[in-house]
Amino acid sequence: MIDLASITAVPKIFPTTYRLTARNRWDHFLARVGVKRGEHRLEPGLYAVGNPTPDSPVFVTANYTLSFDALRSSLEGIDGYILVLDTQGINVWCAAGKGTFGTNEIVLRVMITSLGEVVQHRKLILPQLGAPGVAAHEVKKRTGFWVEYGPVRAVDLPAYLKTHKATPEMRRVEFPLRDRLVLVPVEFVHVILPMLAVAVVLYFVGGLLSAFAAVAAVMAGAVLFPLLLPWLPTHNFSTKGFILGGLVALPFALSVFLQHPDWVWWRQVGQALEFLLAMPAVTAFLALNFTGSTTFTSRSGVKREMFTYIPAMAWTFGIGFLLAVVLVFIR
């Protein structure tokens, strides 16, 4: 529901610049490593970059600082306005999936900022990755502003603005190694303390091999998975994670037979299965987290994958854990 009291007669425009400061880059670093994850945001509203006029273009973005900074730094030499939506500090792609970068928020922000009084034209340039959350015809009907989808990457905007036509390269969504590497620190920071705590407990309960197995399973899901993503077979992330986790678990399973040739066969097989069941489940669960970090997946696809594979992860991990407990008591 639109708060009419918040709509002012005189449009409020925040000034901004093309240049990123040391403070901005420090904020980016903290965001990349997951520190104060929900606080990397700025106030929604209308921002002016350069010296815009009523004929200057209007770009729409999220109030996630990395999204906003990527846009403004790419517009150097271009005078324009940036309409910042309240996406609760979430980037454009994820916010479009969650609905915060969407039709209602655009309509609300256009009204609150009195954008129609600031510019003479009626065009909003949105990032292509925001399209899933926006009904362009509804925006036009309710605000009078047309929606135009710009390129995937903000760095392509200067070239795009020359013709307002995107080349196939500008429309292509890619997820190269560099982008995948950026994801690693956030996941690693969030799992390192639980991983070490579990490893210490397993060291005293199950021995050094079990402790190393826990570390290997977590590192495979949080670090190796995003790096190897394009080369892992199957379509969905869960089965990719199971495959990677199985490959990582295989040396641990084989080491049981090599290190303990004197054990009875059922004990050897039991501990080998402990690794082959529990480790892939952990890796697959962590791999599933990356569905929200890439445009390879859809919102409905992620839900379907969760309902399908999380029970399998729980069962395989549970059986592996039960085997570990039984083997500890029958030593």
pLDDT tens-place string over residues 266-316: 999 999 999 999 999 999 999 988 876 565 556 667 778 888 999 999 999
pLDDT tens-place string over residues 30-49: 998 888 877 899 999 999 99
> 47: Cβ–Cβ under 8 A, 6 or more apart, which residues?
13, 14, 15, 16, 72, 81, 82, 83, 84
pLDDT tens-place string over residues 168-208: 999 988 878 888 888 888 888 889 999 999 999 999 888 89
Could you please report the per-residue DSSP string of 92-155? HHHHHHHTSSSHHHHHHHHHHTTHHHH-SS-EEEE-GGGGGG--HHHHHHHHSPEEEE--SSGG
* pLDDT tops 80 at residue 216: yes
> 201: Cβ–Cβ under 8 A, 6 or more apart, which residues?
none
User: Which segments of the chain belong to CATH 3.40.50.11600?
Assistant: 4-171
* pLDDT tops 60 at residue 1: no
Secondary structure class of 61 (helix, strand, coil): strand
Does the domain at 4-171 match CATH 3.40.50.11600? Answer given as yes
